[in-house]
Each structure stands twice: as structure tokens, then as C-alpha cells.
Amino acid sequence: MENFNFYNPTHIIFGKNTVSKIGRELKAAGLQKVLLIAGKGSIKNNGVYEAVIASLKAHGIAASEYWGVRPNPLLSNVNEAAELARKEEVQAILAVGGGSVIDSAKTVAAAFYNENVWEYFEKSTPVTKALPLYIILTISATGSEMNPGAVITHDEQKKKWAFHGPALFPKISIIDPEIQMSLPWRQTVNGAIDALSHIMEYYFLGHDEETTIAIDEALMNSIIKVTDILQKNEKDYAARASLAWAATLALNGISGIALKNGDWASHMIEHAISALHPHIAHGEGLAVIFPAWLKYTSSANPAQYKRYAEKLWNAADIDEGIAKLKAKYRQWGAPVSLKELGLTAEDIPALADNAAMAGKLGQVKILDREDFIAIYKLAL
């Protein structure tokens, strides 16, 4: 096993009726004014917004608000929100939403002190100064509630890139699985696929890291099991809670210990899809790309790919494992081909060009533009 450092300072408050605790926590931190960042209004329909505002008022916390964060969030919206944060002289950022809202909030927190926040993305410079972040999670998928990274799309350049830094760890994240019961099934599925994909980004670098690999297998099997349960009963609290916690653990550092920081080629290859076609959800794109990536790279670490097939799918080899993975995604109602996303072979060169802006990708197998094209073709 390789040497590693593990650090995660985020305080998780998990369970039913926990949203109302946010005011108390902000007051205990000595905060008086926050910028609340949210999406397009769903939190006003499920009671979350009302509970948050009531808790803030009860503890004397003032809040300015920025609304309108969309899936595959944009740099232009981040800059608007950061300008508002500076104007209102807020002391912290409160994200109420899913991964897109949280990633936007992290970028706003960094942009508060650096108006040219995109330079963190371009230079891969870790962020060391940002406003403190507080999270109320409404969709379990990205794991952004317990990690120091974020993904944003540059509107003009069409770059969907990531940045990170120790200052971006949320101080507190509240996860109430009960408020996720009203999610459309499509969003639950996309979250499950995103979480599975995060674990798989690490898993196939495995060699002798038995403990981390065993944890990853348990997490993936849990996600599959409880998503099957939720497909039959979306109100099953135990399954909903298990999925929420597994999605957090999938990208809070635990699943990648001693696994070389992960591969991440599949994510970047997918990012090209949702950067150029933002109506396509990230989880849907991953459902299409990951099986194709598995097929294309399976000779790079054959023992680990065989183990995946056996442990996850009770399959004899990786080809059968991939077939069962795609069958499971189809069962859940997810797309498994570019055609199902409305894309054709004519779209592939532009997708490959976009992915190639980030340079060569991957660690399981180093990939360049020609490899991207081959993977997109497998995904057709």
C-alpha cells in the first residue's frame, strides 16, 4: 500500500429533522450574515426553504439570497453571486441544494477574495482562502458536501473543469434523507450513478490496497441494493438514508485512500458532453461513458477488472460485468448510449476537442484525443 495523508474536517449532521439546526450552528460560529445560494426554487416547494429561513431568523442570522443556479453551473452565475456577497459583506456562504449549488457556493466563497477565480481552474492552484461554507444537502450525488473540490463550466470557453483546496471543505453539512423523498426518480438515479462512478474512478487503480478496495466494493454493492429498493418504494427511509450516506462516502476521501488520487478520465470525457450539451445531466453522461471506458481500458489492469466483475456482478469476466452494469442502468431508466442522449457520430469530433483541452487524461491508461474518439464511438 502506498503512503497517504487523509484529512477531512467537515462536520456532518445527519438524519431526520436536522435542517432546523442550521441557525444554531451559524450562531455558535459567531456568524451574523450569510449569502444563501440556491437553485431554481424546488426548495420552496418541499418545505426546506421555509425551515431554513425560520431557523436563521430564530437565531438572529441575516441572509441575502442568490437564486438560479442551474445543473452544470456556470462561471457567470458564480461571478454574479460573488459580487453580491462582497456588496452585502456576508461572513459565510450557505448552500441549500445539490452538487451544482454546492459547487457554485464553493467557487463563490473563493471568488469573494479573488475576482479572477478561474485562475484556480487554469493553474490548478489550491485555494487557501475562502469564506466559510455551510451546506444543506437536498440531492445526494456528488459528494461535494464533504470534500474540497468543485466543478464549474466557463460559459465562453465551454470548459467544464474542477478546482480544489483546503479552504473549500464545508464547515458543516446537514444531510436529512427525508427531504430527498420528493425527488423525481431521474434525479435519484443520476445521483446513484454519479456516486458509483466516483468510486469506480478509484477502484480500477487497485492492486494491493485490500482495505480500501473492500470498502469500495461494499459501498458500490450498497448503492446498487438500496437504489433497487427505492425503485420499488421511493419513500423507504432506510434505503434513502443508506444511499445518501454512501454517496457522501463515495467522494469524501475514504474511497480513494492509497489509490493514486483516482483516474478521472471518464469524468472529463463526460464533462465535454454536459459542457457542450448542458441539458444532459452529469449522471446520465456517466451512465453512457463509464461502460465504454471500462471496455476500452480493461486490458490495463486485468486482475482488478476481473475482480470487479466477480464482486459486483457475479460475472465470469469484465465483458459480462459491463453488460450487467448497463442492464442495471437500463433497469433504473438511465441511458446507456450517446444516441439515447440525442447525440450522433457527427458530434464526436467536437466532444473529443473539448475533452482534449484538458490535455492527456487518466492513470489506469493515459488517454489522448484519439482515445477519446474511440471511447465515444464505443458509447454510441
Q: What share of the chain has pLDDT > 90, as a percent?
A: 97
Domain boundary among 134, 163, 178: 178
Residue 82 clears pLDDT 90, i.e. is over it: yes
Query: The domain that contains 280 carries what CATH number?
Result: 1.20.1090.10
**Domain stop point among 152, 178, 204:** 178
Q: How confident is the model at residue 50 (pLDDT cuts 50, 70, 90)?
A: very high
The answer as to whether 251 is a domain residue is: yes
Q: CA 40, CA 71: separation in Å to the nearest integer?
A: 10
Express each pLDDT in 338-377 by its tens digit: 999 999 999 999 999 999 999 999 999 999 999 999 999 9
169, 316: one domain: no
Q: What is the per-residue pLDDT for 257?
A: 97
Buried-exposed string 270-305: b where 16+ CB fall within 10 A, e elsewhere: bbbbbbbbbebbbbbbbbbbbbbbbbbbbebbeebb
pLDDT band at residue 124, thresholds of 50, 70 and 90? confident
The per-residue pLDDT for range 195-210, each reduced to its tens digit, is 999 999 999 999 889 9
How much is the mean pLDDT over the chain?
A: 97
Specify the pLDDT at position 1. Answer: 86
> CB neighbours of 362 closer than 8 A, spacing ≥ 6?
263, 264, 265, 297
Give CA–CA dist 96/63, Å, rounded. Answer: 12
Q: What's the pLDDT band for 337 if we cut at 50, 70, 90?
A: very high
Task: Tell me the residue range of the domain where 210 lies.
Answer: 183-379
Same domain, 304 and 332: yes
- Same domain assignment for residues 38 and 79: yes
244 and 126 belong to one structural domain: no
The answer on pLDDT for 2 being more than 90 is no
**87 and 220, same structural domain?**
no
pLDDT for residue 116 is more than 90: yes
pLDDT digits 0-9 by tens, 223-273: 999 999 999 999 999 999 999 999 999 999 999 999 999 999 999 999 999
Q: Per the structure, how many domains does the chain have?
A: 2
Residue 6 lies in a domain: no
Please indicate, yes or no, whether residues 299 and 369 belong to a single structural domain of this protein: yes
* pLDDT at residue 286 in the model: 98
CA torsion through residues 325, 331, 191, 175, sign? negative
pLDDT digits (tens, 9 = 90+) for 176-189: 999 999 999 999 99
229 part of a folded domain: yes
Q: Residue 214: which pLDDT band, with cuts at 50, 70 and 90? A: very high
Give yes or no: residues 22 and 72 share one domain.
yes
Q: Which of 88, 166, 84 is nearest to 132 (CA)?
A: 166
Q: CA–CA separation, 257 vs 228, rounded Å?
A: 28
**Cβ(258)–Cβ(348) under 8 Å?**
no
Q: Do 216 and 342 reside in the same domain of the chain?
A: yes
Same domain, 295 and 161: no
Whether the pTM exceeds 0.85: the reply is: yes
- Whether 3 maps to a domain, the answer reads no
Same domain flag for 94 and 219: no
Domain containing residue 75: CATH number: 3.40.50.1970
Among 178, 212, 244, where does a domain finish? 178
Is residue 4 one of the residues assigned to a domain?
A: no
Do 88 and 188 share a structural domain? Answer: no
* Cell numbers given for 238: 432506510
SS3 sequence of 335-378:
CCCCHHHCCCHHHHHHHHHHHHCCCCECCCCCECHHHHHHHHHH
Residues 226, 174: one domain? no
